[in-house]
């Protein structure tokens, strides 16, 4: 039976914010972590690979737990796991220990993210599902908007303090909210990967999600460098610009909520093609910093709506196997960081930022293709 969309959305928002905070807290701390643990910055950067790989594996296998643990219990365990991994990361005295701690964190991220998206459909009634989903999906940008400045302030004192306070405190809030909800029953069917991928439309949908996430994650990786090298912006100004882009993501998520139930497939086509145009122009046309920032904000707004539409589309494909479907989506999200970074790096080396924009535009066009023909 459904629950109030605001209550459901806020609880799941907290879980997703904790997952995102645990995922991105390393970004501004990387040089300090490398120096303290006596490794190169390049080596320290592989920590993100470890946590991402662990999150992807956990997401793809989480459906096998559906008949054993209810969604609330699954999320409680997962959020506690990522909190424990973050705590161990803050206390790690060697790089090897940090790698182990981040693998544990990744497991919690993969399970909690998948379970939270699935819970929007299970905990909210059908007529309120899109509203609950829109609220829940504000969690990741909230972790950027609130968490990253806090990481910066605490990181001036110690990278360990930042890691200890930000993801752990967000996880504690999520655990408190989840614990207040009644226990939920287990699913009736195990959502194994082979069974999930055999459902009509799942492969097409997940391919589109992977390509879209790759384009979006890729431009996030290289946008700061583009601003610095094209307009000689300071680090502080670049951070402010990227933070404002994350803020614009929020209204894009909320605005398209009213259409996702009836027009999710059309939105996935239109928004992906719009994103392709925006990211192509970001790379090829750079007359002024304000023009580029306007394009980036437009892209962020579009990405907010497309993420909501993609999630809503996936939740409707196989209602009995939602946890497995959302696990596939989480794996696509994690893989998108690797694909986007790799494609962007190759394009930048071969043709500069113009080639970079065109490469990411091609990814977004590819994301629209699976949805051009409706399912039978």
pLDDT in tens, 241-296: 877 887 898 898 888 988 888 899 999 999 999 999 999 999 999 999 999 999 99
Measured on CA atoms in the order 201, 204, 206, 208, is the torsion positive or negative?
A: negative
pLDDT digits (tens, 9 = 90+) for 84-100: 999 999 999 999 999 99
Residue in the structure block whose two tokens are 């920032």: 293
User: Is the pLDDT score of 35 beyond 50?
Assistant: yes
Mean pLDDT (the chain, rounded): 88
Cα 253 to Cα 121, 359, 375, distances in angstroms? 17, 25, 25
User: Is the pLDDT score of 2 beyond 60?
Assistant: no
Per the structure block, which two tokens stand in for 373? 């023909």
Residues written for the chain = 376
pLDDT at 278: 97
């Amino acid at each position: 039976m459904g629950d109030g969309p605001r209550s459901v959305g806020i609880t799941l928002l907290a879980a997703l914010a904790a997952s995102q905070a645990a995922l991105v807290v390393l970004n501004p701390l990387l040089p300090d972590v490398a120096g303290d643990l006596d490794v190169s910055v390049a080596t320290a950067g592989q920590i993100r690979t470890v946590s991402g790989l662990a999150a992807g594996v956990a997401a793809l296998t989480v459906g096998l737990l559906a008949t054993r643990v209810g969604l609330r219990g699954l999320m409680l365990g997962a959020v506690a796991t990522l909190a424990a991994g973050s705590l161990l990361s803050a206390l790690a005295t060697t790089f090897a220990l940090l790698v182990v701690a981040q693998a544990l964190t990744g497991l919690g991220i993969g399970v909690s993210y998948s379970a939270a998206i699935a819970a929007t459909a299970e905990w909210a009634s059908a007529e309120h599902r899109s509203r609950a989903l829109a609220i829940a999906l504000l969690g990741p940008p909230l972790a950027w908007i609130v968490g990253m400045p806090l990481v910066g302030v605490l990181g001036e004192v110690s990278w360990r303090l930042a890691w200890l306070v930000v993801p752990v405190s967000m996880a504690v809030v999520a655990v408190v909210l989840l614990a207040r909800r009644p226990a939920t029953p287990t699913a009736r069917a195990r959502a194994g990967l082979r069974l999930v991928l055999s459902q009509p439309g799942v492969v097409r949908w997940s391919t589109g999600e992977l390509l879209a996430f790759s384009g979006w994650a890729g431009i996030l990786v290289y946008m700061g460098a583009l601003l610095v090298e094209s307009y000689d912006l300071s680090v502080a100004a670049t951070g402010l610009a990227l933070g404002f882009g994350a803020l614009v993501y929020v209204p894009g998520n909320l605005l398209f909520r009213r259409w996702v139930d009836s027009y999710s497939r059309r939105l996935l086509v239109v928004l992906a093609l719009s994103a392709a145009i925006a990211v192509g122009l970001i790379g090829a046309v750079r007359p002024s910093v304000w023009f580029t920032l306007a394009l980036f904000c437009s892209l962020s707004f579009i990405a907010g709506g497309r993420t909501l539409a993609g999630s809503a589309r996936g939740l409707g494909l196989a209602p009995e196997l939602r946890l497995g479907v959302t696990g596939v989506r989480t794996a696509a999200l994690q893989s998108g960081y690797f694909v986007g970074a790799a494609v962007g790096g190759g394009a930048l080396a071969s043709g500069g930022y113009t080639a970079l924009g065109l490469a990411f535009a091609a990814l977004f066009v590819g994301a629209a293709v699976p949805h051009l023909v409706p399912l039978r």
